[in-house]
Amino acid sequence: MKPTNSRKKFIIGNWKMHTTTAEAGRLARAVVDGVGMEKNVVIAICPPFPYLALVGAILKGSQVSLGAQNHYPEKEGAFTGEISPTMLLDVGCKYVILGHSERRHLLGETDGFINQKVLIALAAGLNVILCVGETLDQRKTGQTETVLDRQLVQGLAGVSPDTLPRLIVAYEPVWAIGSTGHHATPQQVQEAHAVIRRRFGQIFGEKAAQSLPIQYGGSVKPDNAASFLSQPGVDGALLGGASLIADQFIAIVHAGIGEAQTELKPK
């Protein structure tokens, strides 16, 4: 498939289980002030559930969208402690992260369960960030493509083609996240993204594959962001630790802006 420069860069922050009320408010305000009214890059932050309404109020009217880190695959019901996609929409969420490696490997979520979430989120009108990626053992034993194939095929089973414009895939190699001591190279990331786009095209067609934004999530920092974002087929970053420090998050947004402007220049 030939590369295209029509896809925007997506810079999305996943705060995971961090921040207090005061910290969440300060961080959200700093991000809004730091990115201004930038429109060349899509920006979103995903705070913990207790702070969604607070952060959403701060983001209102800005270029930064609100996202959530998860939801349960039902609209409502007797599911103590869970959050529905309807509730996320009600507090202003536009995005939701599903299939994150921490939920797969720490909480035992299966591809089938993640698929249920994907289907109900898309049906509800949310934009889905579907995370896929292999472990270190899987990479060492040559299973990367097989794992990505399984996670895509099973995670996207039954997805209607008309909802694809609201789908983003995030490649997050489990072995390169956090303090593992291992880091993916830009070439490794580019190769994995090409695998994802090729397989997606086999499922939904080449036109859909060329429109699909694929983010990278694997310890992206201000000093390496440009090296990843400049790779063909890498359409942004899903940030963990760097999203908790406003200056770092903003610096990566600016790296995305720079790459977006480069790609939009006439060849």
Which pLDDT tens digits describe the chain residue by residue (267 residues)?
Answer: 344 457 999 999 999 999 999 999 999 999 999 999 988 999 999 999 999 999 999 999 999 999 999 999 999 999 999 999 999 999 999 999 999 999 999 999 999 999 999 999 999 999 999 999 999 999 999 999 999 999 999 999 999 999 999 999 999 999 887 655 678 999 999 999 999 999 999 999 999 999 999 999 988 999 999 999 999 999 999 999 999 999 999 999 999 998 877 765 655
Q: What residues does 216 pair with on adjacent strands?
A: 171, 237
* Identity of residue 121: A
φ, ψ of residue 130 in degrees (nearest 5): -90, 120
Q: Which residues are catalytic?
A: 100, 172
Report how far residue 234's alpha carbon sits from residue 193's, in angstroms, rounded to the nearest whole number: 7
- Helices (H) and strands (E) counted in the chain, each on its own, are 11, 8
- Residue 64: φ, ψ to 5°: -105, 125
Give the CB-side neighbour count of residue 251, counting CA atoms within 13 A.
14
Residue ranges of alpha helices (H) inside the chain are 21-35, 52-59, 85-90, 101-105, 111-124, 136-140, 144-155, 186-204, 206-211, 225-229, 246-264
- Whole-number pLDDT of residue 259: 86
Cβ neighbors of 179 (< 8 A, separation 6 or more) are none
